[in-house]
A = this chain, B = another copy of it.
Amino acid sequence: MLHAEQTIHADIHADVAVIGGGVVGHCIAWEARRSGRSVALIDDAPGQGASWAAAGMLAPVSELHYQEEDLLELMLEASGRWPAFAADLARAGAPDPGYLTTPTLAVGADAGDRRALMDLRSVQQANGLQVEPLTVREARARESLLSPAISCALEIAADHQVDPRKLVASLRELLSAHEPGAGSMVDGATGGFAVEDRAASLLWADGHVAGVKLARGGTILARETIVANGLHAASLEGLPEGLHLPLRPVYGDILRLAVPRHLRPLVTSTVRGLVHGVPVYLVPRQDGTVVIGATQREDGLSAGEGAAGAGAKSHAAVSAGGVYQLLRDAQVLVPAVSELELLESTARARPATPDNAPLLGRVPGIHGLIIATGFFRHGVLLAPAAAAICADLMDGQEDRRWEAMNPTRFSRTHPQKESV
């Protein structure tokens, strides 16, 4: 791994510079790498942002929301790519990213939750998605620790999971396996490597984006620069004039718990519940842990002002009320949650956009630049598709299906060259 200290005063040449080392950035980097391009992945805290918190549900069906049909198409495309993507990772010798085709059970707590889930099912069915109602007895035959007091259960076979922390580690290892000697990149050799630094600014030359200036000095010269650093994308220096990336943080609290041996498996399916109108999910991992999440807060609490200090800026404050709500609602669905060991409480901000769809594509008229951010709740699911779309764009192929995701759609004026 090449550390930033080594790059000071040295220009590094790569075919592709990827800004941001979360799940999305890593998938893009690997896709570019295996298309034969040399890649530099820039992040001073790789995998520590939203990817660190993500539960990793690959859930186009349960994540369907009303009036997000454009997004659904991308989610289904992404979901369809996952099996091959995971197989390719394995074939390339990557460490296990925890990809599992665990089914999902959608569960309601009360009559209102049942109505909401059945209404959603109508929309899901209208979109050709499979959602099969089970009786409570059937659901409990599969998941014996489900509460008998639930109001409904629906099976969603197509919604699976991956472990985002393992996925980042897996992709990182693949990238570093291709890593050349530290010196060779300077002369433009092919390879993939990670730069542990922050991108300070886009680098412009002759009216196009020509790479990245690093925060600690040094530059990455690249034919293509891909902005995949989540919320930080909006504050990147040197974005095209007039390009408005309306990213806002939506915070989420997430818990990791260990299941005592006598309660294993707590659940075999991912359980996505609606408890008196509030969503909660339990994702079982193969190592005997479960992930419980689903809070969404637009307020960042005391982050940065708490007694604990700001910490890394990608870290958000864990909400006591959020943790309480997660434990309360998870227990309504699976009472034995109270007997688990709480291993970790984490919070992160996800980069949301006004229409909940990502900002993904080229900025018309600007060469050498691709934007890939704003994945909100769907970054892990969408990452392989986003990576394929970026690879296509670099090959000069633009798929009209993804025009609705264009990163300029919230910009009032046509973005111009470099902003001053």
Contacts and interface: CB of A to CB of B under 8 A. Distances in A.
A331 B327 CA distance: 14
B306 A343 contact: yes
A15 to B, nearest CB: 40
A306 B342 contact: no
Nearest to A258: B306
B328 A324 contact: yes
A273 B257 CA distance: 28
Contact of A319 (B255, B287, B301, B342): B342
A306 B260 contact: yes
A285 B258 CA distance: 31
Interface stretch (A56-64, A115-123, A332-340): A332-340
Nearest to A338: B321
Contacts of A317: 258, 341-342
A321 B330 CA distance: 11
Interface string A27-54: 0000000000000000000000000000
A305 interface: yes
B306 A341 contact: yes
A308 interface: yes
A320 interface: yes
Contact of A308 (B302, B341, B345): B341
A321 B257 CA distance: 11
Contacts of A345: 342, 345
A88 to B, nearest CB: 28
A342 B326 CA distance: 13
B321 A324 contact: no
A193 to B, nearest CB: 32
A420 interface: no
Contacts of A328: 324, 328
A320 B342 contact: yes
A338 B323 CA distance: 9
Contacts of A319: 338-342
Nearest to A257: B320
Contacts of A261: 302, 305
A341 B289 CA distance: 24
Interface string A252-273: 0001011111000000000000
B331 A324 contact: yes
Nearest to A343: B308
Contact of A323 (B259, B303, B327): B327
Contacts of A84: none
Contacts of A363: none
A258 B340 contact: no
Contacts of A287: 307
Contact of A302 (B320, B323, B338, B341): B341
Given A258-B306, A258-B308, A324 B338 contact: yes
Given A302-B260, A306-B343, A341-B302, A320 B324 contact: no
12 contacts: A258-B302, A260-B301, A260-B306, A287-B307, A288-B307, A302-B341, A306-B343, A319-B338, A320-B339, A321-B338, A321-B339, A327-B327
Interface of A: 255, 257-261, 287-289, 301-303, 305-308, 317-321, 323-324, 327-328, 331, 337-343, 345
Given A306-B341, A320-B341, 13 more contacts: A257-B320, A258-B307, A288-B307, A289-B308, A302-B340, A317-B342, A319-B340, A320-B342, A321-B337, A324-B331, A324-B338, A327-B327, A328-B328
